Every structure is written in C-alpha cells, then in structure tokens.
Structure 1
C-alpha cells in the first residue's frame, strides 16, 4: 500500500516537472522579435523623424509670426482709434478745416437808402453779430465762420475802441461773408428755409445793413480756428484715477 502511494506521488511530481520543462522550452523556442533593419533603413527612418521635427518647428514659427502680426495689428488699432478720437475732438473744437454742405450769408450796407453825401456805414455792432450766430446755432448750423474767422465756443465778439472784433480780428469794412456749414444737404435745406423767414434780415435792415442768404451748396469750406486756445482750471489726471 505504501509502495502504491509512492508511485502515485512520483507520477505526479514527474508530470509537474514535465509541464514546467515544456513551458520553458516553448519560451526559449519563441524569443522576442528583434529589430533586424540594416543601417541604411535606420538612417532613412532617422531622416524622416528629423524632417517631421523640422516641419513641426516651421509650423510653430509660422504660428508665432501670426501671433506677433496680430498683436502688432491690435496695438496699431488702438493707436488708430486714439488718433481718430483726437481728430474728432479737434473737429468738434473747431481746430480743423471743414468742407461740407451749407449756406453763405453776405452782410452789406443798404446803398440805395443812403442820401448823396451821406457816409456809408462800415460798422456792424457786436450785438447784431452775436444774435446772428445764436440764430444760426439754433437752426442747427454746426460750423460757422465770419469774415474768415472760425467761431468756436470760446469766441469773443466785442467792441474795442468803437471797432467790432472777433477774437481780436477787426471787422473794418463791408461787405463781409458768413459761412454756415452742416453735415448733410437735408439739414442745409432746412437751415436755408429757416434763415429766409427769420427776423435777422429785419434786424440788419434796421441798422442800414442787408443780409443776403445764398441757396445751399454741397461743398463749402469753413476755415479752422487759427488763434491760440488758452486752457485754464485743468490738470492731467494721474494714473489710477487720483488727482
């Protein structure tokens, strides 16, 4: 009985050992694949990898150039916006020449009512000019010049030594021309129609002056303000909003 058990044990051990030897032999029989390419094939593969790397670097440089160009364009856009804003402010302040639709008004003495030997009036009162400018402004005239002098918000029309002056410019002789420009022809037509029925003509006639109003024209040049503008009570704001 003991011999029989021994034989069974030996048989089992032999079977296990045989299975292990079979597995080991199969592993040795099928080794892992090795790179069998020759040196030229390896060089060709390396060349392809370098070419791929070069293409990637070129693409990166191209994208960097595009980003740089975009950033430059963005900065230029900011600078252009600032320039446009400055030009618009200068236009609103009257510091630029304006060409657009508008009307002209000519102020001249009423010669037919002057008796022989009577001197022709060469004086126009500051009050009359101020009323004319106010009426033009109320009738939507945006750009006004009198006798070649641009009228802006700080313009002073006054009598100095019995001589009417506009910001120091003397109105020494008649006739003089007044230019009133707007932004479009429709507004110019409205301005013309309102001035034709205004009381300004009667006010000028009472001072022996005639106010002739021309029909609207599409292109009229109003000169820029050519005097020094004094700025008072203004200081630059420090960065951060402080004073």
Structure 2
C-alpha cells in the first residue's frame, strides 16, 4: 500500500510538474514597477472620486441641481464623451514599402498588433487616445471582422493611420516610445511607425457612438423613503 501511494504521488508530480518562475531579477523589478504604478493610478482615481463625492455632499443641500450638473460633467469627461486638449504626441502608421515594389497587396493592420501598441502606450502614461479621429474608451473593441480590422464599427482599411495620444508626462511618453522596439514588430508586417515630437496642444475628439449600459437600471423610488 505504501509503495502504491508513493508511486501515485510520483506519477502526479510527473504529470503536473511544478511551474517555476523563470523570470530574472530585472524582469521581476520591471513587473514590480508596473504593479506599483498601477497601484498609484488606482489610488489617484479613488482620491479623485472621493473628492467628487465630498463636493457633491457639500453642495447638495445648498444647490443640488448645480452639484448634479458638475458631477455629470466629470463623469462625461471620464467616460470620453467630451473633447480633450492637452500635451501629447502623434503616431503615424504607414506602409514601409509600396505594393508595386513588393508585388503583393499589403493587408490591413492586424488587431493584435494595434492592441499591443495601445497597451504599450497605456503603460507609458497615455491618458487619452484616438485612432483616425475615433476616440478610444474602456468599452472600445478592436477586432477582425471578415478580414477587416475594425474599431467598434469603424474600419481601418487605408493608410496612413494617425494616432493621437495625450499624456500628463509627454516627455516620458515620447522618450519611452522612441526607445521601444515596437517599430520592429510593425516592420515585420511591412508597416512603419513614425513618432512626432511632443506637441503642446493636441486635441482628441469625443466619443461619438452611443454607450450601451448593461446590468443597470433606474432605482425604484419607495414612497415615504429617503
């Protein structure tokens, strides 16, 4: 019985080996730095919304209508429903070599490549992003539909593609993007990545489509209640 038990444990160990963390010290430090940055951003968001709540409570008794309007304006800005102007950069995606030179048709930019670029921009401090004049928000979907890359329902089928990025620390964003190797990933798909110098005033348009709210409904008002 003991031999059979030991044999069973050994079999399970071989079948499901313990996964070891193979990251080196620098990778661990980089991951820790990203998590700390995420924590700071979350704390900043919590602080901002606490200030909104406190302001709303203070003004509610004196001027409830104005307090609601101010809260609504803040929520619209956070949701991407308002035009935003700030310092930032523009990124231009274009064909690296012409179709005549290569003798083949250049395909649309792949959704995975575009999402990888957006994730990198966000990790470097991007606050607002638009692609071809289309504002990106939390619910934006980038996917392939029938061979065409689409942002929600907008097709990216022509070059060049212009991306506008606003950041609170535009110099940091600019330096990080210039030091990045993302342009090599684009070159594999015969695409070039051009980054502009920092721009003092860059305007990102508001989100144009309607936002569908799911799993939410108006609260029923109970007569005689608060």
TM bracket, shorter-chain basis: 0.5 to 0.7
Of residues 164, 173, 176, the one that matches 1:191 is 173
Q: CA deviation at 1:120?
A: 4.9
Q: Check the 8 A contact 2:131/2:163 in 1, yes or no.
A: yes
Gap runs ≥5 in structure 2: 1-58
1:137 aligns with 2:114: no
Match in the other structure for 2:197: 215
Match in the other structure for 1:148: 133
Match in the other structure for 1:98: 84
Q: Check the 8 A contact 1:101/1:218 in 2, yes or no.
A: yes
**Under a length normalisation based on structure 1, what TM-score does the superposition of the two structures give?**
0.63
Match in the other structure for 2:216: 234
1:221-243 Cα distance to aligned partner (Å, 9 max, x none): 10111111111001223457x9x
Q: Check the 8 A contact 1:150/1:225 in 2, yes or no.
A: yes
Paired residues in the alignment total 165
Match in the other structure for 1:79: 65
Distance 2:100 2:161 in 1: 22
Q: Check the 8 A contact 2:60/2:67 in 1, yes or no.
A: no
Q: Check the 8 A contact 1:122/1:173 in 2, yes or no.
A: no
After superposition, the Cα gap between the structure-2 partners of 1:77 and 1:147, relative to the gap in structure 1 and judged at 3 Å, is same
1:224 aligns with 2:206: yes
After superposition, the Cα gap between the structure-2 partners of 1:172 and 1:74, relative to the gap in structure 1 and judged at 3 Å, is closer
Distance 1:193 1:78 in 2: 45
SS of residue matched to 1:111: coil
* C-alpha RMSD of the superposition: 2.2
Map residues 25-174 of structure 1 onto 2, 5 A cutoff.
Answer: 77-111=63-97, 116=101, 118-174=103-159
**Under a length normalisation based on structure 2, what TM-score does the superposition of the two structures give?**
0.67
Q: Check the 8 A contact 1:109/1:122 in 2, yes or no.
A: no
